[in-house]
Structure 1
């Protein structure tokens, strides 16, 4: 008796297979549409037209549902396979205008200059800095050294994070 070759849907991770359970289009079509939607900033109607040119009849609202269902699952899968980051971080914040409103832009970069994480907040205070640093540590691992600027909120947030740890993160301040 010959064994059946696994189809793409059965060879997937359980989380992704559960999401794809009731979707009736081929997986490669769904992933291509979602990738083009995210990577190239195409509108849903443009994607509908592009798929029609390729002989695939799909509605723009269907592509939107695929994006909603697949992006969160794919993001989790990509985070699990993310490369390890350097243990020396530089954390800073600046303010930028987003849709006419000023926001504080927190970011962390490693020694290679790769962005580890970022966060937009309406306020620059200890609570915002602490939330940002906890999220970055959770997703990227604990750094050995963090270089920050002279802003008191970052220092206060790092000291609050130190309270529950055995091995503290070394803090360097630079103007």
Structure 2
């Protein structure tokens, strides 16, 4: 286990397997924190729901960082869109893209839906995954403007397509994220929302087979998730 992760787990004063199980369940399934508290209690372990939340906030960034080192390469044709997530009763925006095969390119949670947010998303996605050849967006003017701004600084421009029909694949993919978020009954804090969403996205990518594994092995999604920090 990496030293940094071992130190975090040691400070949490609970069996490692219980901590990791709770964090995985929270980001993998449609469960509220109180659901988790009740489920763990059935195994004879008393954990307050607020403790589970604290574990997730501390550990999810470590899982995401580790996953990015093992993420499989993506296709060069992206479909980009944003979806709505509620924080303190107000809608915020989760920018996402998938490639032609439906694999997640990247994600970014922003407070506003505008050209600056879209531009920041493309900067992050390209920095982490390399530049695409084509990006398909809907009729959003801000997403188009962000891509045009990115192209202004590139020797080889990214081909831009505006076609809602071709973007169905990413809109369908949003549902997997929204299904996990729904039982959480809205987030109370933007930072916490950003962290938990990154955990949900990471688990979603693992389920889609986007993590490199040792040749000849076929670990389950749960085993792949735990391997990131063990």
Common fold by TM > 0.5: yes
* Total equivalences in the alignment: 162
Residue in structure 1 matching 2:133, options 139, 144, 167? 144
Asked if structure 2 preserves the Cα contact closer than 8 Å seen for 1:148 and 1:174, the reply is: yes
Q: 1:133 aligns with which of 110, 118, 122?
A: 122
Is the contact between residue 107 and residue 117 of structure 1 (CA under 8 Å) also seen in structure 2?
A: yes
**Which SS does the other structure have where 1:31 is aligned?**
helix
Aligned to 1:51: 40
1:106 to partner: Cα distance? 4.3
- Whole-Å separation in 2 of the counterparts to 1:96 and 1:43: 19
Q: Distance in 2 between matches of 1:52 and 1:173?
A: 51
* Cα distance between partner residues in 1 of 2:102 and 2:53: 34
In the alignment, is the contact (CA less than 8 A) between 1:51 and 1:57 conserved in 2? yes
Q: Over alpha carbons, which structure has the higher Rg?
A: 1
RCO comparison, higher one (Cα < 8 Å, 6+): 2
Counterpart-to-counterpart distance in 1, 2:111 and 2:91: 7
Q: Identify if the C-alpha distance between structure 1 residues 168 and 27 changes in structure 2 by more than 3 Å, giving closer, same or farther.
A: same
- Which residue does 1:60 correspond to in 2? 49
**In the alignment, structure 1 residue 33 sits paired with structure 2 residue 28:** no
Q: 2:103 aligns with which of 114, 130, 141?
A: 114
Q: How does 1:81-120 map to 2 (within 5 A)?
A: 81-92=70-81, 106-119=95-108
Tell me the residue number matched to 2:2.
Answer: 13
- Calculate the TM-score normalised by the size of structure 1: 0.70
Tell me by how many angstroms 1:130 deviates.
Answer: 0.8
2 CA distance for matches of 1:103 and 1:144? Answer: 29
Listed as ranges, the gaps of 5+ residues in structure 2 are 164-230
Instruction: Tell me the residue number matched to 1:73.
Output: 62
Deviation at 1:96, TM superposition (A): 5.7
